[in-house]
Amino acid sequence: MKFLELVQRDYDELADILAREHGKTIADAKGDIQRGLEVVEVCIGAPHMMKGEFTDGAGPGIDVYSMRQPLGVVAGITPFNFPAMIPLWKIAPAIACGNAFILKPSERDPGVPIRIAELFIEAGLPAGILNV
């Protein structure tokens, strides 16, 4: 996924922003980012799991099917303590399931969530899908 490539490209920059704003060490900042990216990697396969199911002939004259539909617009308000990990935990599943997402990051350390949104846009996410 293009987004993951862009984050890897800017990994040190993101860790530096996080360390300066939050006060974490660079190693802790990189761990924060990495744990968030692990959820993004899992969510890459989520659209396949959203297909629903169909059972032909579940009983005499009975067919069963399920459909999964997006909620629409989802919002996330994230705390200051993990400014990369928690936004990624919220953004990736919401978008993977077909929703638009509004993120309200902590005012204490908004730099990394804003930069993450810029990277999603650079990766080709359509306008209006992710709003910070």
* Among 87, 95, 76, residue whose Cα is nearest residue 116: 87
Residue 75 neighbours by CB distance under 10 Å: 13
55 inside domain: no
Q: What is the pLDDT of residues 93-123, one digit of tens each?
A: 999 999 999 999 999 999 999 999 999 999 9
Share of the chain above pLDDT 70, in %: 100
* Res 65 pLDDT > 90: no
103: domain range? 2-44+69-131
Q: Give the CATH number of the domain where residue 22 resides.
A: 3.40.605.10
Q: What's the pLDDT band for 44 if we cut at 50, 70, 90? A: very high
Q: What is the pLDDT of residues 70-91, one digit of tens each?
A: 999 999 999 999 999 999 999 9
Confidence at residue 4, expressed as pLDDT on a 0 to 100 scale: 97
111 inside domain: yes
How far apart CA 27 and CA 130 sit, in angstroms, is 28
* Amino acid identity, position 82: F
As a three-state string, the secondary structure of 37-64 is: HHHHHHHCCHHHHCCCEEEEEEECCEEE
At 130 the three-state DSSP class reads strand
At 89 the three-state DSSP class reads helix
58 inside domain: no
110 inside domain: yes
Q: What is the mean pLDDT of residues 52-67?
A: 80
60 inside domain: no
